[in-house]
Amino acid sequence: MEALLGQLVSVAFHGTAYGMILYVISVGLSVTMGLMGFANLAHGVFAMAGGYVMLSMMNAYGLPFPLALAIAFVAVALGSIVLERLLYARLYAAGELAQVLFTIGLILMSIAVARLIYGTLQQPVNLPDYMKGQFHLLGRDFPAYRVIVILFSLTLVMLLWFGVERTRWGAMLRAAVDNRAMAQSIGINTSKLFTLTFALGSGLAAIGGGMGAELIAIQPTYPFEHLVFFLIVVAIGGMGTLRGPFVAALLIGVTDTACKYWLPQFGAFFIYAATIAILLWRPAGLFGKAA
Amino acid sequence: MTIAARLLSRLAPHAGGYIADARIRPIEYLPWVVAIIIYVAAPEYLPLGSYILILMLFALSLDLILGYGGIITLGHTAYFGIGAYSAGILAKFVTAEPFTGLVVAAVCAGVFGLITGAVILRTTGLTLLMLTLAITSICYEVANKANDWTGGADGLSGITMNPVFGQFRFDMFGNTAYLYSLVFLILGWWIVRRIVYSPFGASLAGIRENPVRMHAIGAPVYGRLVVVYTISAMIAGVAGALLTHTTQFVGLKVLGFELSGDLVVMLILGGVGRLYGAIVGPLIYLVAQDLLAKQYPEYWYFWIGALLVVIVLFARGGLLGIVDALRARFEKARGR
Amino acid sequence: MTPVLETRALCKSFGALTVADTIDFHLGAGARHALIGPNGAGKTTFVNMLTGRIPPSSGSIMLGGADITAASQSERVKRGLGRTFQINTLFRNLTVVDNVALSVAERTDVGGGLFGVASKQKAVVAESMDLLGSLGLADDARATVIGLPYGKQRLVEIAIALGLKPKVLLLDEPAAGVPSLESHRILEVIAALPSDIAVLIIEHDMDLVFRFAKRITVLAQGAVLMEGTPAEIRTDLRVRQVYLGEDHV
């Protein structure tokens, strides 16, 4: 009994940490899809880029973890602004097929570039000492790294939700997701709003990729390998919402961890099967606006 | 100039519809003539050649739903893979007669296409795309784990096909394989072409262009999509079975994302919804891959990615789309 | 005489918001009827309930004497309900004649044929060409819709609906967005519609409405404000107030 309880707590804990990372990475994708209707399959590229930038800063220049993570956020957010203005913006009015192909193209290019610079092996993560230990609570041990991941992600989530609910940017964002034409007609500069939101979403993905590097290894095929999971989070959670993907990411994180722990022979089978079932039941996702 | 214009007019896209001339233009025999010439003149390329022919058939099946029906999928390998595995399992455990294998593969892939299509075609857009990915992932997981049937990650080997018609053995030089693939490619091409020019094909174009209006004129949109999805799955299944028969092996990669992605790239490169994009695309892609990818594997996908970006930004219709644009300019120039 | 199209106490609400409030409506054979009302009066909701795009919360819809409240969109079309769209809803990359032929083919049940060649459906092609000819679009038959001027695209919008040979035709702001120089063509076409079709036109342009309609229904806040002849509507004070605005009184 005690052993089972221990397993349950452990699965819930590890699953939550994984789910948090999934959320921080995917939330930007949900917003860009809801706001701009852009099927950005290349979203994982930003997470991978964040991971590479952070690890390079730590491994090559010896910068501390938090600073390296901040640099990753800024670098990727800035880079994504360039991409958005130069390329993405041309395709907002294009069909889904064009967007899908274009972003697959970006993925392929990014994989090649990552391989060229870093090789095919996954990047070593040298966690600082304070992340290596265990954290004691209620007579149990929890790995400090994952505790920090959960706490930091929660802080980010609160900041993000607060920003969307309480700031002027958030109000404009909500208005534009709700009705873009209306938002434009009352004088919101949607193009600037898109750029900013896109940059923030990409920056968050970079943080997710960097912070989660120990959970989701940083290697060149990252954007393809985890694409389905990012998409599942958005599709199940519903596009253009913040809460939906949060619930979906936690569900997936915990379910995936549980499956790997108890039913490793089935791989990700249950996740995919559950995704199909949920989307058939609610095609717009659990929290999405019905089409 | 007039000669060029006349030549180009023969290359008009095969869009179907109620005023399109459905007769086969002489130039449409060109690919098959070339295929025969290659068979005679370049025997050392036959193994690669059969693979290209099979991928052309696979690309045709994708063009039918993507180019004509407007169904965006990244998971069409599910049906190719099911065709490949069902042909392999049948040959290994039941009968190694090739034509039986093709029929069984078509039926298996078709039934799976019907069931999955009936389920996923209720959705559209990104949700649909997601579901195609999820279905293919499930197939991959199942094939990977069902070791006894599929050989798991090692692949399904130990298949020995009977000779075609009891006469022509699948030799190691690829003679039989090449002609066998070519015959079924031509058959598939003929079927897809018939569908494109049929009233059904015209209504598919209508669904692709505007599903809302198709509903408003009383068309059974969902039913038509399920039908075309099932047909496409059957053709993809036959293509998969051809691969099994010609290589006498099934690897897990027939269900992988890489093949799905490559296939889409080939079709986009050739041109979507033009029928011959599915012929031109795989040819150029696979020949280029054969020449370049082995020498520069690290650059290959970079350039493929760059190519996709360029096509989307500047040449939405692929290579044949460029031909269309040239033709339109010539016709305009001639009209004035 | 029994009406071809009738709604009985038709209601629609989204949560607490009522967008259609017990609408009783009749459309007789060969009617020339207009539905007007200020923005947000519920005209679009009403049309969408008639065509089956959204289900009503309560009430019933009768078409040709049969209850179609629960019928699918395509069932209603088969029973003779055709519509046009306020925003062009065309097959943009297809030819003009294909746009019409698709609808003719659906009506004559050849649209799903997998075997045979579309261009050998001579009856479909001929009927589509005739229809285009009667709308003055014969010369544009082979052009792609996307390349047509907007006014002609509006005509194609009507042509597709006429290809269904409807008993009841709903015209949703047929002249919306058309420059006034071209709009007379659309007026002519509407005026020349076969007299056996019952036409319901939803329109903002009062000029067009008063010229065309024999009867007018005014919607306001989801409910029927009044119904009457153009003369009655023109002189009604309430209509002037809600529809034309205070300054016109």
Say what the pLDDT of residue C239 is.
79
- pLDDT tens-place string over residues C185-235: 888 899 899 989 999 999 877 888 888 899 999 988 888 988 999 888 888
Enumerate the H helices of chain B as residue ranges: 2-9, 30-41, 46-62, 77-93, 98-120, 125-145, 147-150, 175-197, 199-209, 211-216, 221-247, 257-270, 277-288, 297-314, 318-335
What's the average model confidence in pLDDT over B240-257?
94
Say what the pLDDT of residue A291 is.
42
- Adjacency order of strands within the sheet including C66-67: C17-27, C5-14, C58-63, C66-67
Helix axes A227-237, A269-281, angle to 10 degrees: 30
Please indicate whether residue B336 or residue A276 has the higher confidence score (pLDDT): A276
A269–B305 CB contact, under 8 Å: no
Residues forming a β-bridge with A136: A141
Which are the contacts of B253, defined by CB distance < 8 A and separation ≥ 6? B259
Residue A221 main-chain phi, psi, to 5 deg: -85, 10
- pLDDT tens-place string over residues B183-224: 999 999 999 999 999 999 999 999 999 999 999 999 999 999
Are the C-beta atoms of residues B14 and B274 closer than 8 Å to each other?
Answer: yes
Q: Point out the residues of chain A with pLDDT beneath 70.
A: 289-291
Rounded to the nearest 10°, the torsion over CA A201, A204, A206, A212 is -140
Say what the pLDDT of residue C59 is.
92
- pLDDT tens-place string over residues B95-112: 999 999 999 999 999 999
Q: How many domains does chain B have?
A: 1
What's the average model confidence in pLDDT over B292-296?
79
Which are the contacts of B149, defined by CB distance < 8 A and separation ≥ 6? B85, B89
**Cβ-based contacts of B15 with chain C (< 8 Å):** 94
Say what the pLDDT of residue B58 is.
98
Q: Which amino acid is at A264?
A: P
Task: Round to whole Å and give the CA distance between B198 and B213.
Answer: 20
Taking every pair of Cα atoms in chain B, the longest distance, rounded to a whole number of angstroms, is 69
Say what the pLDDT of residue C211 is.
86
Are the C-beta atoms of residues C68 and C79 closer than 8 Å to each other?
Answer: yes
> In terms of Cα–Cα distance, which of C29, C15, C37, C28 is closest to C224?
C37
Sign of CA pseudo-dihedral C76, C77, C80, C86: positive
Task: Round to whole Å and give the CA distance between A20 and A236.
Answer: 16
> What is the CATH classification number for the domain harbouring B122?
1.10.3470
Average pLDDT, chain B: 90
Of the candidates A104, A115, A272, the beta carbon closest to that of B261 is on A104
Q: Which two tokens stand for residue A280?
A: 């058939």
Say what the pLDDT of residue C152 is.
92
Question: How many CB atoms within 10 Å of residue B175?
Answer: 17
Q: Which two tokens stand for residue C96?
A: 């003009």
Which are the contacts of A165, defined by CB distance < 8 A and separation ≥ 6? none
Task: Round to whole Å and give the CA distance between A22 and A226.
Answer: 10
Which are the contacts of A88, defined by CB distance < 8 A and separation ≥ 6? A38, A40, A198
Residue with tokens 């870093």: A118
Helix axes B277-288, B46-62, angle to 10 degrees: 140
Say what the pLDDT of residue B335 is.
63
Average pLDDT, chain C: 89
Of the candidates A109, A269, A284, the beta carbon closest to that of B305 is on A109
Task: Round to whole Å and give the CA distance between B100 and B90.
Answer: 9
Q: What is the ipTM of this complex?
A: 0.90
| CATH architecture for residues A2-281 | Orthogonal Bundle (1.10)
Are the C-beta atoms of residues B94 and B158 closer than 8 Å to each other?
Answer: no
Q: Do chains C and B touch (3 or more CB pairs under 8 A)?
A: yes
Residue C183 has pLDDT above 50, yes or no: yes
Given pLDDT bands bounded at 50, 70 and 90, which one contains residue B321?
confident
Helix axes B257-270, B125-145, angle to 10 degrees: 130
Domains of chain A: which residue ranges? Answer: 2-281
User: The domain containing residue B120 runs over which residues?
Assistant: 2-335
- pLDDT tens-place string over residues C118-155: 999 999 999 999 999 999 999 999 999 999 999 999 99
Helix axes B221-247, B175-197, angle to 10 degrees: 170
A-chain residue closest to B306, CA distance? A105
A235–B145 CB contact, under 8 Å: no
Distance from CA of B200 to the nearest CA of C (A): 5
Domains parsed from chain C with CATH numbers: 5-248 (3.40.50.300)
Q: A100 at the B interface (CB within 8 A)?
A: yes
How many CB pairs below 8 Å do chains A and B form together?
Answer: 124
